[in-house]
């Protein structure tokens, strides 16, 4: 009999293309996780449609409906625990999570961000990269701490920034890498190959190291 699969709770606010990448990975028989529930803080998020199509329970928790951030996060934690969630994956979820929420899932909350952190944290990372004139951009999957995009880095992928790029074209190029990187990082995290050790990650198998820094498309491998 195969080992139990890790139960993921995926938090979304928008289109949910990263949710889709996780759903697609989880549809593979040998993937070590399954999406147990999806929670959106935005009722109109297209991500909810993707969850319904994949027959995954989806819940809307509008942060605006709660009297405080603490109340919202308490309800969020309860919803996730009710669904038996063990790991929380932020996939375009545009809210910061506080220490109390994170303490409920210690070392088990992951986020994907569209920059090579620690550069360009926060909103509009791709726009920040273009404004700064960097030649290489990318994405990062990291463990979440109470800071803004400051948690221990699990994996990164790079893409070139082309002279003719605008925010939309750069975002689309980064997104393609996000869809490969997130399922990879989740697999490594839930199987214990990468763990959070304070501000850094501990990598269990040296063979894993190459997977954690995907090289830019076109670069020799």
Tokens (6 digits) for 104? 């409920």
Among 63, 113, 142, 179, the active-site one is 113
Annotated catalytic, 179?
no
Q: Are 66 and 41 in contact (CB under 8 A)?
A: no
Q: What is the 3-state secondary structure (H, E, C) of 30-42?
A: CCCEEEEEEEECC
Of 112, 155, 194, 203, the one binding ligand GAR by CB under 6 A = 112
40 binds ligand GAR (CB under 6 A): no
Going from the C-alpha of 84 to that of each of 36, 63, 80, 156, the distances in angstroms are 7, 22, 6, 29
Note whether 155 binds ligand GAR by CB under 6 A.
Answer: no
Q: Tokens 């759903």 sit at which residue?
A: 23
Element (H, E) at 214: strand 213-214
Q: Which is nearer to ligand GAR, 36 or 170 (CB)?
A: 170
Smallest separation, CB 114 to ligand GAR (Å) = 4
11, 18, 137, 152: which one binds ligand GAR (CB under 6 A): 18
Residue 92 contacts ligand GAR per CB under 6 A:
yes
Q: Which of 91, 137, 144, 159 lies at the binding interface for ligand GAR (CB under 6 A)?
A: 91
- What is the Cα–Cα distance from 50 to 216, expressed in whole angstroms? 29
Comparing CB distances to ligand GAR, the nearer of 16 and 81 is 16
Instruction: Among 8, 17, 110, 142, indicate the residue that binds ligand GAR (CB under 6 A).
Output: 17
Question: Among residues 81, 176, 192, 186, which one has the least CA distance to residue 141?
Answer: 186
Binding site for ligand GAR (CB under 6 A): 14-18, 91-92, 112-114, 125, 175, 178
Residues with catalytic roles = 113
């Amino acid at each position: 009999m195969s080992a139990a699969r890790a139960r993921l709770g995926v938090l979304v606010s928008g289109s949910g293309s990263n949710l889709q990448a996780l759903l697609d990975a989880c549809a593979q028989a040998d993937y070590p996780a399954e999406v147990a529930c999806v929670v959106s803080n935005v009722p109109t998020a297209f991500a909810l449609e993707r969850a319904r199509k994949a027959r995954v329970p989806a819940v809307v928790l509008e942060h605006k409906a709660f009297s405080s951030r603490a109340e919202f996060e308490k309800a969020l934690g309860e919803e996730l625990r009710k669904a038996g969630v063990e790991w929380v994956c932020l996939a375009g979820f545009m809210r910061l999570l506080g220490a109390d929420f994170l303490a409920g899932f210690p070392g088990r909350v992951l986020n994907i961000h569209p920059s090579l952190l620690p550069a360009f944290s926060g909103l509009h990372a791709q726009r920040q990269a273009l404004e700064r004139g960097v030649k290489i951009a990318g994405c990062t999957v990291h463990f979440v701490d109470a800071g803004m995009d400051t948690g221990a880095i699990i994996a990164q992928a790079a893409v070139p920034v082309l002279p003719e790029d605008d925010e939309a074209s750069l975002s689309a190029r980064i997104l393609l890498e996000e869809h490969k990187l997130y399922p990879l990082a989740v697999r490594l995290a839930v199987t214990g190959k990468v763990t959070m050790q304070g501000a850094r990650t501990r990598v269990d198998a040296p063979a894993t190291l190459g997977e954690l820094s995907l090289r830019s498309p076109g670069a020799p491998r």
